Amino acid sequence: GHSTLDMARPVRTGRGEVVFAEGKKTEHLLEIVEVFLSRGENLLVSRVREDQLGPLLERFPRLVYHAEARCCTHVASPPPPCAHRVGVVTGGTSDVPVAEEAAITCEFYGVGVERVYDVGVAGINRLLARLEEMRSLRALVVVAGMEGALPSVVAGLVDRPVIGVPTSVGYGAALEGMTPLLAMLTSCVPGLAVVNIDNGFGAGYLASLIARL
Amino acid sequence: GHSTLDMARPVRTGRGEVVFAEGKKTEHLLEIVEVFLSRGENLLVSRVREDQLGPLLERFPRLVYHAEARCCTHVASPPPPCAHRVGVVTGGTSDVPVAEEAAITCEFYGVGVERVYDVGVAGINRLLARLEEMRSLRALVVVAGMEGALPSVVAGLVDRPVIGVPTSVGYGAALEGMTPLLAMLTSCVPGLAVVNIDNGFGAGYLASLIARL
Amino acid sequence: GHSTLDMARPVRTGRGEVVFAEGKKTEHLLEIVEVFLSRGENLLVSRVREDQLGPLLERFPRLVYHAEARCCTHVASPPPPCAHRVGVVTGGTSDVPVAEEAAITCEFYGVGVERVYDVGVAGINRLLARLEEMRSLRALVVVAGMEGALPSVVAGLVDRPVIGVPTSVGYGAALEGMTPLLAMLTSCVPGLAVVNIDNGFGAGYLASLIARL
Amino acid sequence: GHSTLDMARPVRTGRGEVVFAEGKKTEHLLEIVEVFLSRGENLLVSRVREDQLGPLLERFPRLVYHAEARCCTHVASPPPPCAHRVGVVTGGTSDVPVAEEAAITCEFYGVGVERVYDVGVAGINRLLARLEEMRSLRALVVVAGMEGALPSVVAGLVDRPVIGVPTSVGYGAALEGMTPLLAMLTSCVPGLAVVNIDNGFGAGYLASLIARL
Amino acid sequence: GHSTLDMARPVRTGRGEVVFAEGKKTEHLLEIVEVFLSRGENLLVSRVREDQLGPLLERFPRLVYHAEARCCTHVASPPPPCAHRVGVVTGGTSDVPVAEEAAITCEFYGVGVERVYDVGVAGINRLLARLEEMRSLRALVVVAGMEGALPSVVAGLVDRPVIGVPTSVGYGAALEGMTPLLAMLTSCVPGLAVVNIDNGFGAGYLASLIARL
Amino acid sequence: GHSTLDMARPVRTGRGEVVFAEGKKTEHLLEIVEVFLSRGENLLVSRVREDQLGPLLERFPRLVYHAEARCCTHVASPPPPCAHRVGVVTGGTSDVPVAEEAAITCEFYGVGVERVYDVGVAGINRLLARLEEMRSLRALVVVAGMEGALPSVVAGLVDRPVIGVPTSVGYGAALEGMTPLLAMLTSCVPGLAVVNIDNGFGAGYLASLIARL
Amino acid sequence: GHSTLDMARPVRTGRGEVVFAEGKKTEHLLEIVEVFLSRGENLLVSRVREDQLGPLLERFPRLVYHAEARCCTHVASPPPPCAHRVGVVTGGTSDVPVAEEAAITCEFYGVGVERVYDVGVAGINRLLARLEEMRSLRALVVVAGMEGALPSVVAGLVDRPVIGVPTSVGYGAALEGMTPLLAMLTSCVPGLAVVNIDNGFGAGYLASLIARL
Amino acid sequence: GHSTLDMARPVRTGRGEVVFAEGKKTEHLLEIVEVFLSRGENLLVSRVREDQLGPLLERFPRLVYHAEARCCTHVASPPPPCAHRVGVVTGGTSDVPVAEEAAITCEFYGVGVERVYDVGVAGINRLLARLEEMRSLRALVVVAGMEGALPSVVAGLVDRPVIGVPTSVGYGAALEGMTPLLAMLTSCVPGLAVVNIDNGFGAGYLASLIARL
Ligand SMILES: Nc1ncnc2c1ncn2[C@@H]1O[C@H](COP(=O)(O)O)[C@@H](O)[C@H]1O
Ligand SMILES: Nc1ncnc2c1ncn2[C@@H]1O[C@H](COP(=O)(O)O)[C@@H](O)[C@H]1O
Ligand SMILES: Nc1ncnc2c1ncn2[C@@H]1O[C@H](COP(=O)(O)O)[C@@H](O)[C@H]1O
Ligand SMILES: Nc1ncnc2c1ncn2[C@@H]1O[C@H](COP(=O)(O)O)[C@@H](O)[C@H]1O
Ligand SMILES: [Mg+2]
Ligand SMILES: [Mg+2]
Ligand SMILES: [Mg+2]
Ligand SMILES: [Mg+2]
Ligand SMILES: [Mg+2]
Ligand SMILES: [Mg+2]
Ligand SMILES: [Mg+2]
Ligand SMILES: [Mg+2]
């Protein structure tokens, strides 16, 4: 009753479908997943809540659970191979769950990922050590909380499209991610655009779109 | 004295240099432009204030002024041709100056532009009439003020990277562009990332980077 | 002791009374409901908390519970029939509880409702498919979270009064509904006014008022 | 070049066209007005800047200027008569320009207006004295700045659709109209919806839409 | 160790001491209460958490608990009688806990209180019915959430000092009390000043100070 | 036309009338002042703009202009003498215009004023030197910008009603007065209430009301 | 996998390493602590959650737990003695946990601490009584919530570097610490800089850096 | 009249006096400068407006004007020499006026300054080239607008006290400096504290205080 499935979209795009689990009642989630799996489509279920996980995996044992990314995938038919790879970079270890959501999303769409984690501006030598690797990639997803400076620094060093993902890591003046969001938007370095706070999925989707151009 | 020119960057990127005129004293602006032109580089001077324009064009008659985009360019050696084109789309006519800044930036970097202006959600048939054209482009810069809904609608219809540019067009609850900025960031459609309010330059730079991948 | 019942209002307006349950202690809620039911009035109890539901239904078995709308109604004497119908539209399935609150409120006041759910801008063809139906209605309640673009799009396509209801669906830059609220208020399309975040009741009340003019 | 005129709209709605002058260059404004007038349509030009007024009236002597509302109208063919009237109410005298924009808009669409000005909550007896008059109207546009309490009070006394228009009148904590906007949205009285700060046009448009149902 | 008791204050002011319980560990709270009671002073313990209540009353059976106001008092020596009374007024029943905090505070300082509850602007006749009573009082504490209009209306009708107390009652655009706070501050009626959101204690303290002048 | 004079108020309160000049057109201002003066009432015209001053004093030579307070007064019949005095205190010299508005307002209502200027927390010994004087007054208006700490400090030292007036003095994080406003509202000292930013009139009005109780 | 340890830093600075426990999974925390302890380094684990404390102390009995500061330390080799001492000052008792975090951090880096607690502006005599002591110290960490006035007052009285630490103590307009943060930043007294809300660690680190210059 | 000069302060601190010119009327400014110069004190007049400059220099030819810092100084008796130097660093050239205010302030207090300008994160090699120089200084003032990342990067590389100064350079999401302010406050690197937006004076004052310890 409550859902109007958009059949045009997956057909037109040839991309797998995505379900956002977090705000849904478990029974509704199961119904929707049922529909997509029964149609033999590739499926990514993102932001799976802990209480949804058991019922989901029990009913659909085909689903693969990615714990850190908090998502499930089912690949019925692998997407065509992609010649290019994408980088996923984080400032700290607390940003890793969001980064993994981006990475799993890229991989779900058939794009390989290079992970460059915990190389934030507090010790910039860690970042400099991996520059060449980063310059060989097609696009970079850069995930950072607190002051959100890392995407600017990366965009200044690597001439590739950079997608900044602010995270809600931090407290007080970090304003639950609003501060790194605003900081990334006002970056003095061009070549950088930004997605919503903690939106690893959106960043991974866009990066894979660019990698497949 | 006050500037530390970053010689590494244009050499490494092979891209023309950009000077942000708005916040600079005219004498400082003239000095900086002098340096870059004397080195025979391609140059884009963005956000030229009215009082800067006369002295600038008088001293450097080579500069071409783009009135609606409020910027000047000098192309010493044209960039290599690019096989792909970029679309620049606006919601209304008041968004055109920001859109032109994006378009001129793309063209400065050698990437052709398709302009699709005044096709906002108030009369969505205007947008639907140009869908096929938009689907043939490499990336889309979508410029909108007020409620900022257009990038979402475009990203829902076209499977290309979309760069949303919120503008400060509007009043009251538009919060000088903060409202369309936030709206674009929370878009329910993936494939979209966002740059700062009125930042046509940043969007054009990123679009040209993607078109040239 | 703590309540000053406004006897003038239901008499003057001839409309049923409404009790907002959420912020009340269960014992106070029961007392107030008691008073209204004993006077033989139509009653709508909105935003019933889970812990209030049991005691409420046990003590007043006459009350009908509407689970998705989280409200209870008792219709002692049905309101006079209304020739016109109202549409309740949502962007996604997560907006349905707020939409149901609006719909039940309309029906409580005797106004029929057409439900048009999950037709948001991510797949605008779903909305276009139901345009004629929407044009036949007296007023439209349009419920959307995240970027809140749907009321603008609807108001651009249907020449009926549109009441926008922003929802707190979304995260990060959605600012718990403040972003769709601001976006709806700055709509570039006229014919649209807005109520508080998640305020399905207020929208339904106003829509029924318009339908009965 | 920059405008994509939406021919479908005025034809479909049978309502006169509106041009928002404030953000436009005078030459662009003149061109657009030219197009509409030459097609023999009714036209409302809102928010005319002082520097635009002279050229506008000189070139189009047919236009009627409404000084307090800061708008011009031309009625080529009067709209069909409307049986119902609308009320426009203000809290203070400083709110009158916004109120006049609403009133002129209603009248442009052929709906008669009752003006009830300067009856704010500082001296509530002034409002009570005009209650019966207000109850005879089809819808009420209530304009108020500062604490924005008037629409709530009116909606509590009159069972008609109320459209609240917050104004930027006030200083300090009035936050340029954001405070009355938020206050109206959180009204404890139903039957009230809100438009953008200072948006007399939007309120008048919606009120006339309701009056003509 | 952690507290520096300010002995000068109660001696100088001759007013009972107040302890703010909410943020304190129970053991620290008990120690501080011990000190004050052992000195034979009048004591008001405000904002007592549920988990603190048992231990507090068990150890100090002399304390009187005021459930709705969530505070405890002990009056060792009653304050001198006060010739004047203070009014405590609320918009709705949900504002009563804050109002009771104000009322108990006044009474603790020996000032009698007239309670006028649930007379908000949704049904203004309830307020008008009690005007004469309110005009006979020395000062008025007016407590309201949501749009916070009541203090303005009261100050427009009664020529007494009005202390506005915004409450966190409401949702969405009520911004946890920030909206009524801002609304009260921008009141168009003079004779009104404001305290922090939900700060019944502060309002009651100031009202009793005025009543005793 | 646009004004609804509230005749009930000055009669009922026996207090002089006040006109807020700032937002009014000069011709409207002159008309309103004409009405009040012709009725022989005491009149305070606050926030007179520079361009209004000449016409105002030329037409009404009886008006006395108070330059620092930017207001004009005419006292037709002096108010009855008041036994109590009020203190007006500022943190710095930039706060003096707001303080003078408060002081002139008190004097207009017949209440004597003690001025204690430039005694802010940067050099607290200046404040301590004048404590005894301040303790002899009936109420204190304390005016401060920037961090707005002075009202708290004064309320901690003097057991009189304190009315805090935040000013827009400061820059950056002072947020045009919002920071001292919020700071005063969250004061850890009771006995203090707050009016709008720069609202010297409101503070003086309330102080005189208290002094006359 | 997820961490890139910055070996350069502790070697270069000769300062002990710090681990921020709060946002980490217990197993990750244990691993990181393991690495540092096994290298024989001094270690400070800050913001230890209750559920982390047991496993941490059980596995590393060498760690010393500081309950009020919510942190653990292990000093393998004491830092060289420091000739200077630092003061840690609070406005109230609720600010003590943040203050203790600052104090323990200083001591961890070998700098002695003078604690001056609960001397806020509500009773300024408590502060004045300890002025001489404070003037003998090298730098002052001043911790305050609510209106955050204390650092200004201290900086006005003591000519030493003052580091202001706003706390989230307070409610309503305290905005979870944003209000004291903004207030400290706009202080009218020089000699004061500010760290993030509740950031006792950052303040203690900087104070010890200054003391060791 | 309006000023209460704090004689205790310059005597106690032995530091020159500072006058903040911006908000003062020229005549008041001249009076205050007169007083200080006549007492033979060192004087710094900061934020001199253009219209104040002529009268100031004409009346007090002894004053030295520093154009970029927009301030005037008079050194009657040079402060004692200081063994240590301070660094003043900027992200871009637009930050230089604020940086110069900091530098002139340090020099006024007798502390030498190393200027390191235009070394922002867009080209981080410019910063790395000057690291050794920066490590030899006593404290660093780091000035940056837009995303405000530079102080974090510097604090991660140099183990000296860093004072971050956010500037209002930038547009849109830079929020007139609020974004770099918040970013600096949430820095993931310790050793950094922050002053108000554009507050070069405050940063220079604190840096000189630290250099002289
Ligand atoms: N219109 C613009 N908006 C935002 N950034 C710009 C703009 N124009 C130039 N920039 C950036 O500013 C840098 C030049 O700044 P500057 O060194 O101050 O001239 C360029 O490298 C661009 O990245
Ligand atoms: N004063 C106004 N405030 C808000 N929207 C307006 C106003 N006047 C006109 N509009 C809207 O703006 C549209 C015209 O915009 P434009 O095409 O830029 O002239 C009209 O269709 C109206 O919906
Ligand atoms: N409910 C309350 N809200 C605000 N402030 C309060 C409240 N109760 C007590 N206070 C203030 O808090 C002070 C006591 O704080 P404390 O020393 O932390 O117990 C009293 O002197 C009162 O001024
Ligand atoms: N400076 C002021 N700030 C705030 N309110 C004021 C001020 N001066 C006058 N008022 C209020 O504004 C009312 C007059 O408004 P008006 O009818 O628009 O002239 C008076 O009754 C005062 O309550
Ligand atoms: Mg790390
Ligand atoms: Mg248009
Ligand atoms: Mg859907
Ligand atoms: Mg009036
Ligand atoms: Mg009620
Ligand atoms: Mg001073
Ligand atoms: Mg205390
Ligand atoms: Mg540069």
Measure Cα distances from G206 to F185, F212, G33, H185 in Å. Answer: 31, 53, 23, 13
Q: What angle do CA F180, F186, F188 make, to 5 degrees?
A: 115
- Cβ–ligand 3 contact at G92 (below 6 Å): yes
Segment A25-52 shows an average pLDDT of: 94
Atom 7 in ligand 1: residue holding the nearest Cα: B20
CB contacts of D4 in chain B (<8 Å) are 117-119, 123, 126
* Nearest C-alpha neighbor of C152 from the set C129, C113, C121: C121
Atom 12 in ligand 3: residue holding the nearest Cα: E20
Query: Across the interface, do G193 and H194 touch by the CB < 8 Å criterion?
Result: yes
Task: Determine the Cα–Cα distance for residues G145 and E22; give it in Å rounded to an integer.
Answer: 15
Tokens of A52: 């949804």
Query: Which ligand ends up closest to the CA of F23?
Result: 4
Using an 8 Å Cβ cutoff, are A111 and A211 in contact?
A: yes
Tell me the CB-side half-sphere exposure of residue E83, using CA atoms within 13 A.
2
Measured in whole angstroms, how far is the alpha carbon of residue E181 from the centre of its chain? Answer: 16
Rg over CA atoms, chain B:
18
pLDDT at residue D62 in the model? 95
Query: Across the interface, do E23 and G123 touch by the CB < 8 Å criterion?
Result: no
Mutate to test the pocket of ligand 1, among B20, B28, B56, B100 (most ligand atoms within 8 A of CB): B20
CB contacts of F210 in chain E (<8 Å) are 161, 210, 213
pLDDT band at D188 (very low <50, low <70, confident <90, very high): confident
Task: Determine the Cα–Cα distance for residues F25 and F30; give it in Å rounded to an integer.
Answer: 9
Give the nearest chain C residue to E121 (CA atoms): C6
Segment D46-61 shows an average pLDDT of: 97
Instruction: Please check the confidence at residue F75 and state whether its pLDDT lies above 80.
Output: yes
pLDDT at residue E188 in the model? 87
Query: Across the interface, do F117 and H197 touch by the CB < 8 Å criterion?
Result: no
pLDDT at residue H12 in the model? 54
Q: Which amino acid is at C80?
A: P
Instruction: Please check the confidence at residue E52 and state whether its pLDDT lies above 80.
Output: yes
Is residue C18 helix, strand or coil? strand
D interface mutation test: which of B94, B116, B128, B179 has the most D CBs within 10 A?
A: B94
Q: How far is the CA of B121 from the centre of ligand 2 (A)?
A: 13
Taking only the tens place, the pLDDT of each residue in D132-185 is 999 999 999 999 999 999 999 999 999 999 999 999 999 999 999 999 999 999
Measured in angstroms, the CA of A12 and the nearest CA of chain G are apart by 37
Tokens of H206: 């604190």
pLDDT band at H5 (very low <50, low <70, confident <90, very high): low
What atom of ligand 3 comes closest to residue E47's alpha carbon?
Answer: 1
pLDDT at residue F105 in the model? 98
Could you tell me the maximum CA-CA distance found in chain F, to the nearest angstrom?
A: 55
Atom 10 in ligand 4: residue holding the nearest Cα: F20
pLDDT at residue F121 in the model? 92
Neighbours of G132 (CB within 10 A): 9
Atom 2 in ligand 3: residue holding the nearest Cα: E201
Task: Determine the Cα–Cα distance for residues D190 and G121; give it in Å rounded to an integer.
Answer: 45
Instruction: Please check the confidence at residue E11 and state whether its pLDDT lies above 70.
Output: no
Beta-strand ranges (E) seen in D85-203 are 85-90, 112-116, 139-144, 162-166, 192-194
Q: What angle do CA H43, H45, H49 make, to 5 degrees?
A: 160
Chains within contact range of chain A (3+ C-beta pairs < 8 Å): B, C, G, H
Q: How far is the CA of A194 from the centre of ligand 6 (A)?
A: 28
Task: Determine the Cα–Cα distance for residues H24 and H56; give it in Å rounded to an integer.
Answer: 13
Tell me the CB-side half-sphere exposure of residue G170, using CA atoms within 13 A.
32
Instruction: Please check the confidence at residue A188 and state whether its pLDDT lies above 90.
Output: no
What parts of chain G have a pLDDT lower than 50? none
Task: Determine the Cα–Cα distance for residues G201 and G163; give it in Å rounded to an integer.
Answer: 12
pLDDT at residue H6 in the model? 62
Partnered with residue D142 across adjacent β-strands are: D89, D164
pLDDT at residue G14 in the model? 65
pLDDT at residue G24 in the model? 86
Using an 8 Å Cβ cutoff, are F5 and D120 in contact?
A: no
Point out the residue among C91, C147, C153 whose CB comes nearest to the CB of B124.
C153
- Cβ–ligand 3 contact at E201 (below 6 Å): yes
CB contacts of G118 in chain E (<8 Å) are 2-4
Task: Determine the Cα–Cα distance for residues D172 and F178; give it in Å rounded to an integer.
Answer: 8
**Are H and E touching by the rule of 3+ CB pairs within 8 Å?**
no
Buried b (16+ CB within 10 A) or exposed e, F79-92: beebebebbbbbbb
* Nearest C-alpha neighbor of G63 from the set G43, G84, G83: G43
Point out the residue among C8, C28, C197 whose CB comes nearest to the CB of E125.
C8
Chain G positions contacting chain A at CB under 8 Å are 1-4, 6, 8-9, 23-24, 28, 166, 168, 176-178, 181, 196-199
Mutate to test the pocket of ligand 4, among E157, E159, E188 (most ligand atoms within 8 A of CB): E188
CB contacts of E28 in chain G (<8 Å) are 93
Buried b (16+ CB within 10 A) or exposed e, A175-196: bbbbbbbbbbbbbbbbbbbbbb
Residue A172 burial class via C-beta count within 10 angstroms: exposed 0-12, middle 13-18, buried 19 and up = buried
Taking only the tens place, the pLDDT of each residue in B86-140 is 999 999 989 999 999 999 999 999 999 999 999 999 989 999 999 999 999 999 9
Query: Across the interface, do G198 and A93 touch by the CB < 8 Å criterion?
Result: no
Measured in angstroms, the CA of C9 and the nearest CA of chain E are apart by 7
Task: Determine the Cα–Cα distance for residues C108 and A125; give it in Å rounded to an integer.
Answer: 66
What atom of ligand 1 comes closest to residue H93's alpha carbon?
Answer: 18
Taking only the tens place, the pLDDT of each residue in H17-26 is 899 999 888 9
pLDDT band at E1 (very low <50, low <70, confident <90, very high): low
pLDDT band at E24 (very low <50, low <70, confident <90, very high): confident
pLDDT at residue C55 in the model? 98
pLDDT band at E30 (very low <50, low <70, confident <90, very high): very high
Mutate to test the pocket of ligand 1, among B19, B108, B109 (most ligand atoms within 8 A of CB): B19
Q: What angle do CA A130, B185, H121 make, to 5 degrees?
A: 35
Pinpoint the alpha helices (H) of chain E: 8-13, 26-38, 50-59, 96-108, 125-128, 131-135, 150-157, 178-185, 200-211
CB contacts of H117 in chain B (<8 Å) are 1-4
Q: Report the percent of chain D where pLDDT is more than 70.
A: 95
Using an 8 Å Cβ cutoff, are D172 and F198 in contact?
A: yes
φ, ψ for residue E208, nearest 5 deg: -70, -35
Give the nearest chain H residue to A172 (CA atoms): H186
pLDDT band at H8 (very low <50, low <70, confident <90, very high): low
What atom of ligand 2 comes closest to residue B93's alpha carbon?
Answer: 18
In this structure, is the dihedral angle defined by the CA atoms of residues E198, E204, E205 and E210, taken in order, positive or negative? Answer: positive
pLDDT at residue H118 in the model? 93
Give the nearest chain F residue to E166 (CA atoms): F185
Q: Which amino acid is at D67?
A: A
Point out the residue among C8, C28, C196 whose CB comes nearest to the CB of E93.
C28
Mean pLDDT (chain E) is: 93
pLDDT at residue C71 in the model? 97
Mean pLDDT (chain F) is: 93
pLDDT band at F193 (very low <50, low <70, confident <90, very high): very high
Tokens of D127: 């409002």
CB contacts of H205 in chain G (<8 Å) are 190-191
CB contacts of C159 in chain D (<8 Å) are 12-13, 15, 209
CB contacts of A118 in chain G (<8 Å) are 2-4
Pinpoint the alpha helices (H) of chain G: 8-13, 26-38, 50-59, 96-108, 125-128, 131-135, 150-157, 178-185, 200-211
pLDDT along chain B (213 residues), means of 10: 64 76 90 93 96 98 97 95 97 94 97 96 93 97 96 96 97 98 96 98 98 96
pLDDT at residue H98 in the model? 97
Task: Determine the Cα–Cα distance for residues B194 and B11; give it in Å rounded to an integer.
Answer: 28
Q: How far is the CA of G6 from the centre of ligand 3 (A)?
A: 46
pLDDT band at D28 (very low <50, low <70, confident <90, very high): confident
First to last CA, chain E: 37
Tokens of G90: 């609070």
Using left for φ > 0, alpha for ψ between -120 and 50, and beta otherwise, residue A187 falls in beta
Measured in angstroms, the CA of C11 and the nearest CA of chain D are apart by 12
What parts of chain C have a pLDDT lower than 70? 1, 5-14
Point out the residue among D94, D117, D172 whose CB comes nearest to the CB of F4.
D117
Is residue C135 helix, strand or coil? helix
Taking only the tens place, the pLDDT of each residue in H132-177 is 999 999 999 999 999 999 999 999 999 999 999 999 999 999 999 9
pLDDT at residue A8 in the model? 53
Chains within contact range of chain D (3+ C-beta pairs < 8 Å): B, C, E, F
- Count of helix runs (H) and strand runs (E) in chain G: 9, 9
- Within 8 A by CB and 6+ apart from B192, the residues are A195, A202, A206, B151, B152, B155, B162, B163, B164, B184
Using an 8 Å Cβ cutoff, are G191 and H105 in contact?
A: no
Query: Across the interface, do B181 and H169 touch by the CB < 8 Å criterion?
Result: no
Tokens of H119: 């070394």
Atom 6 in ligand 3: residue holding the nearest Cα: E20
Task: Determine the Cα–Cα distance for residues E205 and F91; give it in Å rounded to an integer.
Answer: 25
Point out the residue among D12, D138, D163 whose CB comes nearest to the CB of C193.
D163
Q: Report the percent of chain A where pLDDT is more than 90.
A: 87
pLDDT at residue F12 in the model? 55
pLDDT band at A7 (very low <50, low <70, confident <90, very high): low
pLDDT at residue C7 in the model? 54
pLDDT at residue B15 in the model? 77
Taking only the tens place, the pLDDT of each residue in F48-62 is 999 999 999 999 999
Query: Across the interface, do E195 and F195 touch by the CB < 8 Å criterion?
Result: no
Query: Across the interface, do G188 and F124 touch by the CB < 8 Å criterion?
Result: no
Instruction: Please check the confidence at residue F180 and state whether its pLDDT lies above 60.
Output: yes
